[in-house]
Amino acid sequence: MSTCNHDCSSCQQKDCGERSLKIEANANSNIKKIIGVVSGKGGVGKSSVTSLLAVAAAKAGYSTAILDADITGPSIPSAFNLTGFLTGDGQTIQPAVTAKGIKVVSTNLILAEKGQPVLWRGPIIASLVKQFYSEVNWGDIDYMFVDMPPGTGDVALTVFQSLPIDGIIIVSTPQQLVSLIVEKAVRMAEMMNVKIYGLVENMSYIVCDNCGHKVKLFGQDNTELLAKRFNLPLLAKLPLDPQLASIIDEGKIEEYNSVEAEEIIHQLKQM
């Protein structure tokens, strides 16, 4: 539209080709599928689930990447023992590569000090997320997992509106409070017309070392009830595994075998 002032909030045009905010990857990138990993709140193990999915996809033979969109709370590099800094040639940025070939970009790979807080306002954070996608030389990628920050704020909007995302996986834990917050993520995706592949219940149970019995530490399966309510697949129930926590602390998550994450990748192939 020649009269467009680019202020969509005041526009009465219902069908406008200029309304799309999608950005393109650089010419050296060919990304086949982008999957966001989201949650309604922090502390549910979203980054751990993102990492496990990436490891499982790479193990299955897919070229895999992680875009760490949790700009103010990045943890992906630590799980993969990635240190140092991202490099570039002034036009494109080269992603870091894990021991088994997973490509990663994250705020912690551009900060001078890893413990330095990111005191940026929303527009700057959103701009960096878009740069991580459009200015990084990703190469050929079968699966890109976007580790989202908790909640339904600026970054979630930026990812949903700007990246050609194929769908999201919502991570929850069994507590009723968390499930209620996950409902907000479900409704946001519906409002943004973003496909939901399904829910993942993390910290679902712990396995007794002596008898192998599964103990549900947080009571009933609220995530399962939520999945039925919204007619969504419950992709997996992941255990609360002390070994996983130890491996992540050591930066060796690629050595961890998650049958559940492998099953999720298998399900994604069918969707």
- Tokens at 38, concatenated: 């989201």
Does residue 7 surpass a pLDDT of 70? Answer: no
Give dist(CA 104, CA 254) in Å, integer. 13
Dihedral sign, CA of 215, 218, 224, 225?
Answer: positive
Nearest to 265 by CA among 84, 56, 25: 56
Find which of 1-5, 126-130, 139-143 is predicted with most confidence, using mean pLDDT: 139-143
Measuring CA to CA, which residue among 38, 155, 29, 35 is closest to residue 93? 29
Torsion from C-alpha of 248, 244, 76, 126, nearest 10 degrees: -140
Closest of 190, 140, 132, 196 to residue 158, by C-alpha: 132
Q: Which residue in 173, 148, 166 sits closest to 240, CA to CA?
A: 173
The pLDDT of residue 184 is 86
Mean pLDDT of the chain: 87
Q: Which residue has the higher pLDDT, 114 or 249?
A: 249
37 three-class SS:
strand
Q: CB burial class (10 A; 0-12, 13-18, 19+) of residue 215?
A: exposed
Q: Which helix (H) or strand (E) holds 64?
A: strand 64-68
Tell me the mean pLDDT in the region 215-228: 79
Contact status, residue 239 vs residue 204, Cβ threshold 8 Å? yes
Q: CA–CA separation, 189 vs 76, rounded Å?
A: 24
Is residue 3 over pLDDT 70?
Answer: no
pLDDT of residue 2: 44
- Lowest-pLDDT range of 15-24, 45-54, 198-207: 15-24
**Both structure tokens of 58:** 């790479």
Type of residue found at 48 = S
Whose tokens are 């709140």? That residue is 41
Q: Which two tokens stand for residue 81?
A: 């023992």
Pinpoint the alpha helices (H) of the chain: 46-59, 76-79, 122-134, 154-162, 176-191, 222-229, 242-249, 259-269
Secondary structure (3-state) at 140: strand
pLDDT value of position 6: 43
**pLDDT digit string, tens, across residues 57-87:** 999 999 999 999 999 889 999 999 999 899 9
Which of the 8 DSSP states describes residue 6?
S
